[in-house]
Amino acid sequence: MSNAVKDFILMTKPRVWIFLLITGLAGEIFSLCILKKLDYFGFIFVAIYIAFGLMGSESISNYIDIDIDRKMNRTKNRPLPSGKMSPKEALYGGLILVALSLLMAYIYSPLSFLFMLTGIIDYDIVYAKLTKRKTTLNIILGAYSGGAPLLAGFYAFTDKFNIVIILWFFIIFLWTPLHIWSLSIRYRDDYSNASVPMLPVVLTPKKTMMVLFPVAILTSFTTILSGYFFMKYFNEMLSFTIFSVYIMMSVYLFLEYLLAFIKIDERIMKLFVSTNIFVGIFFLSVAIFSFLIPL
C-alpha cells in the first residue's frame, strides 16, 4: 500500500468511521433477522456503501476543518493539517466516495439512500460548515449524522416503522454530546485556541457536567426502554436475560458519568473511554441477540 493511500485512509479517521459502520452493520443484521431473510449480497453491498459514505464525509469534513486542525495540538499532526496530503486530495477523494455511496444506496434502497444523504448533509454542511465555529449547539445539531448509518442499514431491507430501531437511533443521538463534550473538557484549551465554541469552552467543566446530567439520565433511560421493546422478539427466559443486559449497560454508563462528575480532572477521559465501550458493547449485543431472533 502506497504512502498516499495510507495517508488518505488515516485522514478519514478510521477509528471513527469503523465505529459508526458497526452501528450500520447492527441495523442490517437486526433488519434481516426480524424478516428471517438471508441476503449475503445485500448485506455486503449495503455495508460497502455505508463505509464509503462515512469515509467520504469524514474526508470532506477534514477539508473544511483544516484551519482548525492546524491550531489544535491534538490534531495538528494528522495527514491534512501536517501537509502530508493536499486539501484537494481530501476534497476530491471525499466527493468521489460520497458520490459512489449515494449512487449505490439509491440503486439498492431509496429509503436507505435518504438516510445516507441526510446524514452526510448533517455532518458536513450543518455541523462542520455552518455550526461548528458558531454555536455551542453544534454537536447537538450534528448528532443526527451519528445515527444515520444505523437507520440506513436497517431501512435498506424494509420500509416498516420499528420502535426498537428508533430508540437505538435516539441512544446514539443522546450519547453523542456525552461522548464529545467529555473529550472537549479534556481538550478545552485546544478548542479555545482554535475558536471552536464547544460547550466546555463557553462553560466551566463543572457546569458542562451539570448540563450533561439530564443527557446521561435520558441516555440510560432510553437504553432500558429499548431493551424492554427488544425483549419482545424473544421467549420469556431469553427476553429476561436480554433486558437485564440492557439494564446493566445503562447503569454502567450512568455510574461512569457520576464518577466523572465527582472527580472531573481525574476521570473525564475515563468517561470518554466508557462512552466508547458502552456503544461498542451495545451494538455488538444488538448483532449477537438479533441472530437469535429467527431461532
Q: pLDDT tens string for the chain (295 positions)? A: 567 788 899 999 999 999 999 999 999 999 999 999 999 999 999 999 999 999 999 999 999 999 999 999 999 999 999 998 999 999 999 999 999 999 999 999 999 999 999 999 999 999 999 999 999 999 999 999 999 999 999 999 999 999 999 999 999 999 999 999 999 999 999 999 999 999 999 999 999 999 999 999 999 999 999 999 999 999 888 999 999 999 999 999 999 999 999 999 999 999 999 999 999 999 999 999 999 998 7
Rounded Cα gap, residues 135 and 54, in angstroms = 24
The Cα–Cα gap between 41 and 10 comes to 28
CB atoms within 10 A of CB 210: 12
Kindly write down the DSSP assignment for every residue of 57-74, as one continuous string: HHHHHHHHTHHHHHH-TT
pTM equals: 0.96
- Supply the DSSP symbol for 194: T
pLDDT score for 1: 57
Contact of 79 with 131, CB cutoff 8 Å: no
Whether residue 216 contacts residue 177, with contact meaning beta carbons closer than 8 Å, is answered with no
Q: What is the third-level CATH fold of 1-159?
A: Tetracycline Repressor; domain 2 (1.10.357)
Q: Which residues contact 14 (CB under 8 A, 6 or more apart)?
A: none
Question: CB count, 10 Å around CB of 252?
Answer: 16
Taking alpha carbons only, the member of 206, 146, 134 closest to residue 177 is: 146
Q: Which DSSP state fits 233?
A: G
**Domain segments of the chain as ranges:** 1-159, 161-295
